[in-house]
């Protein structure tokens, strides 16, 4: 399991290295400007910021997952008892998929300037995200009331921990969704709105992907 940590670290290092090193051969003291050297990226700043944030939270989730796998290591996991996952998790997954689809619909509606569709899609997206969060709380209750509930069992501890961290990030996304809705209903410039909805959507898809991985992990162990 240390391997996965190493792999992630190496991967990160390689990605950064490759990106930068490819362009670090310029000799900047020469008078002619170097084609290899990098000027500002041709991407909006908010998008760069979001992707930097993705790198950050990918690191966070990767580390939680590594901790999970390391704790399950047979040397320590004498106290790990598989728990039955609350059934509602499947429903929640479906709800989150719909939420992502709705956000994608919103993005398409924005592109084709369909304001009515945009507003509906945003509303559906947010509503289903809230439904997901509510469903997660119900899942928490279900586990608490079940016979499997033993907080010292790391399977239980990780269940709450991983779902909580994912949920918190979704709540953060809801804040941006809220601002986007506000802007849409007030309708400022097209450019700003489009970027906001696009980034919201990408974030939603990212969290959906993270949820698939976490859910898969919880199911398989």
Partner 1 sequence: MPLAVVIILLVVATIIFHFASPWWFTPIASNWGAIDTTVNITIWVTGVVFIAVNLFLAYVIVKYRHKDDGRAHYEPENTKLEVWLTSITALGVAAMLAPGLFVWADFVNVPEDAAEVEVVGQQWRWSYRFPGADGVFGSTDIPNMSVDNPFGISPDDPAGQDDILVNDNTVHVPLNKPIKFLLRSKDVLHDFAVAEFRVKMDLVPGMVTYIWLTPTKTGTYDILCEELCGMAHYAMRGAVVVNEENEFDSWLSEQPTFAQTVARPVGDPVAGQAFFAVCAACHGPQGEGNLALNAPKTAGQEGWYIKKQINSFKSGFRGAHKDDIYGLQMAPMAAILVDENAIDNVIAYINTLPDNPPETSVTGDAARGEKLYTTCAACHGRQGQGIWSQDAPRLAGMTDWYLVQQLKNFKAGVRGDHASDFQGRQMALLSLMLKDEQAIHDIVAYINTL
Partner 2 sequence: MAYVAIADRDHEHHLHDPQTFITKYIWSQDHKVIAIQYGITAISVGVLAMILSAMMRLQLAFPDVFSFITPNNYYQFVTMHGMIMVIYLLTALFLGGFGNFLIPLMCGARDMVFPYVNMLSFWVYLLSVIILMASFFVPGGPTGAGWTLYPPQSILPGTPGTDWGILFMLISLAVFIVAFTMGGLNYVTTVLQARCRGMTLMRMPLSVWGIFVATILGLLAFPALLVSAVMMILDKTIGTSFFIPAVLSMGESLDHLGGSPILFQHLFWFFGHPEVYIVALPAFGIISDLISTHARKNIFGYRMMVWAIVAIGALSFVVWAHHMYVSGMNPYFGFFFATTTLIIAIPTAIKVYNWVLTLWQGNIRFTVPMMFAIGFIFTFTHGGLTGLFLGNVTVDLPLSDTYFVVGHFHMVMGVSPVLAVFGAIYHWFPKISGRMFNETLGKWHFWLTFLGTYSIYLPMHYLGILGVPRRYYANGITDFIPESAQTMNVGITIAALLVAVVQIIFFVNIIWSLRNGKKADSNPWGATTLEWQTPDTPPKHGNWGPELPVVYRWAYDYSVPGQSLDFIPQTEPHHGHDSVDDEDKDKK
Residues in the site for partner 1, rule: CB under 8 A?
27, 29, 75-76
Q: Is 3 in the site for partner 2 (CB under 8 A)?
A: no
CA angle at 112 for the pair 109 and 117, rounded to the nearest 5°: 30
The stretch near partner 2 (CB under 8 A) out of 25-33, 132-140, 174-182, 197-205 is 25-33
Which position among 9, 115, 171, 219 is part of the footprint of partner 2 (CB under 8 A)?
A: 9
- Give the distance, in angstroms, between the CA of residue 14 and the centroid of all CA atoms in the same chain: 22
Q: Is 137 in the site for partner 2 (CB under 8 A)?
A: no
Minimum CB separation from partner 2 for residue 189, in Å? Answer: 11
Which position among 95, 129, 156, 181 is part of the footprint of partner 2 (CB under 8 A)?
A: 156
Q: Are 200 and 129 in contact (CB under 8 A)?
A: no
Which position among 3, 4, 22, 56 is part of the footprint of partner 2 (CB under 8 A)?
A: 56
Q: Are 28 and 37 in contact (CB under 8 A)?
A: yes
Closest by CA position to 159, among listed 59, 55, 72, 57: 72
Q: Is 13 in the site for partner 2 (CB under 8 A)?
A: yes
Q: Is 31 in the site for partner 2 (CB under 8 A)?
A: yes
Binding mask 84-123 for partner 2 (x = CB under 8 A): ----------------------------------------
Closest by CA position to 125, among listed 145, 140, 142, 110: 110
Q: Are 185 and 119 in contact (CB under 8 A)?
A: yes
């Amino acid at each position: 399991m240390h391997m996965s940590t190493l792999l992630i670290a190496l991967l990160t290092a390689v990605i950064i290295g490759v990106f930068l090193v490819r362009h670090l051969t310029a000799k900047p003291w020469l008078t002619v400007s170097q084609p290899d050297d990098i000027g500002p990226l041709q991407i909006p700043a908010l998008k760069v910021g979001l992707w930097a944030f993705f790198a950050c939270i990918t690191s966070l989730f990767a580390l939680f997952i590594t901790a999970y796998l390391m704790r399950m290591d047979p040397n320590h996991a004498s106290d790990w008892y598989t728990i039955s996952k609350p059934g509602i998790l499947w429903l929640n997954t479906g709800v989150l998929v719909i939420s992502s689809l709705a956000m994608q619909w919103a993005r398409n509606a924005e592109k084709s300037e369909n304001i009515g569709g945009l507003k509906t899609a945003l509303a559906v997206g947010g509503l289903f995200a809230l439904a997901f969060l509510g469903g997660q709380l119900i899942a928490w209750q279900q586990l608490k009331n079940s016979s499997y509930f033993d907080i010292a069992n790391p399977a239980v501890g990780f269940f709450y921990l991983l779902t909580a961290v994912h949920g918190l990030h979704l709540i953060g996304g809801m804040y941006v969704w809220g601002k986007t809705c506000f802007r849409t209903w007030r309708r400022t410039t097209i450019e700003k709105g489009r970027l906001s909805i696009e980034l919201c959507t990408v974030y939603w898809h990212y969290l959906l992907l993270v949820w698939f991985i976490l859910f898969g992990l919880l199911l398989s162990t």
